[in-house]
Amino acid sequence: GAVVSQHPSRVICKSGTSVKIECRSLDFQATTMFWYRQFPKQSLMLMATSNEGSKATYEQGVEKDKFLINHASLTLSTLTVTSAHPEDSSFYICSARDTSGIYEQYFGPGTRLTVT
């Protein structure tokens, strides 16, 4: 149980284009999902918190117009990187909090974004 999937696992795009990453909770409902970014050999950096049916809450320094988050259902959240630039290249990971559980967050496998 408690499986979170992400799609795609890897994506390469050209500078100036937009990329959408999907995060799904496969066997549980998640009213809250989180998006993280991870640089090589560093820990996870929280970008935003998304709650189903409401606007995402972004961490300080994260551009909400560049990183669009939509949490349209209890099992799906999407992150769209708009007008991507090489500095947006990173490992993006989502997590989901099981509504029926206590506080555990379960993480997806991550998406490697490379902007050329």
What is the contact surface with other proteins in residues (CB under 8 A)? 2, 4, 6, 32, 34, 42-44, 46, 49, 91, 93, 95, 97, 102-110, 112
Count how many residues are written for the chain.
116
Smallest gap from residue 36 Cβ to other proteins (A): 9
Nearer residue to other proteins within complex by CB, 75 or 97: 97
In this structure, are residues 112 and 10 in contact, taking their beta carbons and an 8 Å threshold? yes
Q: Which is nearer to other proteins, 2 or 13 (CB)?
A: 2
Q: Is 67 helix (H, G, I), strand (E, B) or coil?
A: strand
Residue 11 CB, shortest distance to other proteins, in Å, is 14
Q: What is the C-alpha separation between 108 and 59, in angstroms, rounded?
A: 20
Cβ nearer to other proteins, comparing 47 with 84: 47
Find where tokens 């937009």 sit: 18
- Interatomic CA distance for residues 79 and 82, integer angstroms: 9
